[in-house]
Structure 1
Amino acid sequence: MTSAGPHRRAVALAALSALVLGAQAPGAARAADREVTFAHQDMVVPFRALMESGALEKATGYTIRWRKFGGGGDVIRAMASGSVQIGEAGSSPIAAAASQGLDIQLFWILDEIADAEQLVARAGSGVTRVADLRGKTIAVPFVSTAHYQLIAALAEVGLGQADVRILNMRPPEIAAAWERGDIDATFVWDPVLARVKKSGTVVVSAGDLARRGKATFDGLVVDRAWASRNRDFLVTLVTLIAAQDAAHAAKPWGADAPEVAAVARITGSTPAEVPASLAAYRFPTLEAQASPAWLGGGAAKALTETAAFLKAQGRVQALAPDYARFVTAEYVAAARK
């Protein structure tokens, strides 16, 4: 990489920010209201580089309070309390939130999880296939996409939750439990996934289960009332995320790229781990976001199916009448124009 590379990227981001600012319509949030608390997690996605760049703050004039959470369930609880306006959550906690009537909208597919979440068994545990988990101890963040996939994987081979011991742990807690030898297996994502794989064996991935009809994704959700008052911010947000994803897709970052350093700092990964972690996900383009596969119908279908599964497992008490109400392509459509 030449020394001019970072300068060119800074100029490009500044130009894009100026373009977005110029496109903002009258009626944007008043200056006094231009602040937001944004809950994120540790998934290794290109968006992390955008977060660190400050481009979103420059393009919108908003003060953004970035708050890191250990799982989607924690994010949803913070949104329910009113302390967070926008958050990252997987399809499972989003489905649970919608089932409970939380007034949120999914407005961006952050990633299709694909092979970015995997069930890993400790070397020496005797586990080489899902059926071998009977009587074993497994750690997973409850109500996460990984939890949903774990239960689905067990069900495929005729195992129920009474047949295994499932511990509710956040990713950092899983890493510590793995090091202590307290658990036999875990279903988790990077950066912890990369570490447990060094002394474990992958049994099944979210991608394997998705190909058998159990698709999962991570998305951005927003408080509906806040969204109605801050439309321009959300349009700018999806525009910039799409540009960051496209830049990575056009030229995937090497371990020495400044964007990788930013991703590593926010997620707790090492720069050496980041390129492979990014490659395990799929990131829908701006055009794909609004398609029938995602915000145009597929996401609502996935939430409906996930919610039904969660109810069958006793994780939610009732189902929403219509999960499409919790999905919108409005901001993506505006960004495409």
Structure 2
Amino acid sequence: MSIHRLSFSRRALMVATAAALAGAATGVHAQSAQTVTIGVQSMYGPWKRAIVDQEFEKATGWKIQWRNFDSGGDVVAAMASGDVQIGVAGSSPVAAAVSRGVPIQVFWILDNINEAEALVVRNASGVQKMADLAGKKLAVPFVSTTHFHTMFALEHYGLQGKVQVMNLQPSDIPAAWARGDIDAAFIWDPALGKLKQDGKVLLTSGDLTKLGKATFDALVVNKGFAEKNGAAMQAFTRVLEGVTADYVRQPASWTAQSESVQKVARQSGAKPAEVPPVLALYQFPLAAEQASQAWLGGGKSSGVAKALSATAEFLKGQKKVPAVLPDYGIAVNSSFVSAVK
């Protein structure tokens, strides 16, 4: 799913002073001189419509630079370096970053991954069931949610050490698949859709979540940035709530011909017809649900903190992080969803 940069001009400070007299809403827009960089990925989601419509800029007053990344690992690396203030990352790269001391917090659950990530096998591989993966090559982006679920699945089905797990970025997997370099991949759309054309789904993240290992995609924010930009962060979250609610309440209206889907497709570099079936694979919790203990509420006892802890245990076993923290509640911020629910 970083050290922030502030560039307030004298005019912005004057506007901020006026805003203090004019009211809280104007206070958010007082930050108009501030440039904020947000890291996104190609995955589909209702919130992409709001990006196209520049709703986030209008609500916060920020000048937003939207930067595309290939994976959550790349996003959190950019946040660690200070280049990105807010970003999209899955639970695995978030757990890895927090375990290494990167001061980021989950403030919005973009989706419960559910059926949207899947282990797919090539039709020509001869694989019919999990046991058939023994001796095969399986591609996955390392330190991703699918990497976490891949290794959990191999452990669950007694295939540890029997499958060659290869580290490939999502954009590289379809080409390796087409060449026959790999027999299987655990991946998400748009790569997943391409692989399904001559492959079949063997297992989904939803299946593995039911076995007790949940994964999710989230928006994370640099802790210091969130503390200094509370009003704008709340406005940003309100936009997320609004656009997500539009989809959750009327998913059938999000057709390939709808303006909403066409905007999501445009922002994600996809064809409109590809978007609705993919959105249907996810679950999109709204703010009231996110504020509960099932997700962000409850600090160390929150569902997100528990999931990050379990993921960190896995990453430590993979020698990807040096240690597991005693409390992953430090990486959870429920204040914004609580304010807008």
Q: TM-score, normalised by structure 1?
A: 0.90
CA shift for structure 1 position 238: 1.2
**Matches of residues 96-245 of structure 1 in structure 2 within 5 Å?**
96-160=96-160, 162-245=161-244
CA shift for structure 1 position 179: 1.9
Per the alignment, do residues 194 and 120 of structure 1 end up closer, same or farther by CA in structure 2, a change over 3 Å counting?
A: same
Aligned residue in 2 for 1:301: 306
Flag as ranges the 4+ runs of structure 1 deviating above 6 A.
Answer: none
CA shift for structure 1 position 169: 1.5
- Indicate conservation of the 8 Å contact 1:153/1:209, yes or no: yes
Is residue 2:271 matched to residue 1:270?
yes
Per the alignment, do residues 236 and 126 of structure 1 end up closer, same or farther by CA in structure 2, a change over 3 Å counting?
A: same
Aligned residue in 1 for 2:52: 52
Q: Deviations over 1:92-147 (max 9, x none)?
A: 11111111111111111110000000000000201122221111111111111011
- Indicate conservation of the 8 Å contact 1:139/1:169, yes or no: yes
**Matches of residues 251-266 of structure 1 in structure 2 within 5 Å?**
251-252=250-251, 253-266=254-267
CA shift for structure 1 position 163: 2.2
Q: Percent identity?
A: 49
2: CA distance between counterparts of 1:261 and 1:184? 33
2: CA distance between counterparts of 1:330 and 1:29? 21
Per the alignment, do residues 23 and 257 of structure 1 end up closer, same or farther by CA in structure 2, a change over 3 Å counting?
A: farther
2: CA distance between counterparts of 1:219 and 1:173? 23
Say which of 313, 318, 339 aligns to 1:313.
318
Q: Deviations over 1:197-227 (max 9, x none)?
A: 1100111000000001011000111111111
- Indicate conservation of the 8 Å contact 1:28/1:230, yes or no: no
CA shift for structure 1 position 270: 1.6
Per the alignment, do residues 26 and 215 of structure 1 end up closer, same or farther by CA in structure 2, a change over 3 Å counting?
A: same
Per the alignment, do residues 266 and 22 of structure 1 end up closer, same or farther by CA in structure 2, a change over 3 Å counting?
A: farther
1: CA distance between counterparts of 2:130 and 2:80? 35
1: CA distance between counterparts of 2:221 and 2:59? 19
* Cα RMSD (Å): 1.6
CA shift for structure 1 position 335: 1.9
Structure 2 residue runs without a partner (length 5+): 1-21
Is residue 2:334 matched to residue 1:324?
no
Query: Secondary structure, in 3 states, of the residue corresponding to 2:124?
Result: coil
1: CA distance between counterparts of 2:25 and 2:231? 6
Aligned residue in 1 for 2:284: 283
Aligned letter for 1:122?
R
1: CA distance between counterparts of 2:129 and 2:90? 25
2: CA distance between counterparts of 1:180 and 1:260? 32
Aligned letter for 1:215?
A
Query: Secondary structure, in 3 states, of the residue corresponding to 2:114?
Result: coil
Q: Size of the alignment, in residue pairs?
A: 314
CA shift for structure 1 position 293: 0.4
CA shift for structure 1 position 322: 0.9
Aligned letter for 2:135?
G
- Indicate conservation of the 8 Å contact 2:112/2:282, yes or no: yes
Aligned letter for 1:50?
A
Aligned residue in 1 for 2:10: none
Aligned letter for 2:120?
V
Aligned letter for 2:282?
Y
Aligned letter for 2:236?
L
- Indicate conservation of the 8 Å contact 1:28/1:231, yes or no: no
- Indicate conservation of the 8 Å contact 1:29/1:230, yes or no: no
Q: Deviations over 1:15-72 (max 9, x none)?
A: xxxxxx975375876443x220000111111111111111111122110000010001
Q: TM-score, normalised by structure 2?
A: 0.89
Aligned letter for 1:327?
V
Query: Secondary structure, in 3 states, of the residue corresponding to 1:172?
Result: coil
- Indicate conservation of the 8 Å contact 1:191/1:268, yes or no: no
Of 134-143 and 276-285, more deviation after overlay is shown by: 134-143
CA shift for structure 1 position 301: 0.8
- Indicate conservation of the 8 Å contact 2:138/2:166, yes or no: yes
Q: Deviations over 1:160-196 (max 9, x none)?
A: 2x32222211211111211222210000111111111
- Indicate conservation of the 8 Å contact 1:137/1:185, yes or no: yes
2: CA distance between counterparts of 1:81 and 1:313? 24
Aligned letter for 1:209?
L
Per the alignment, do residues 79 and 29 of structure 1 end up closer, same or farther by CA in structure 2, a change over 3 Å counting?
A: farther
Per the alignment, do residues 197 and 241 of structure 1 end up closer, same or farther by CA in structure 2, a change over 3 Å counting?
A: same
2: CA distance between counterparts of 1:127 and 1:303? 32
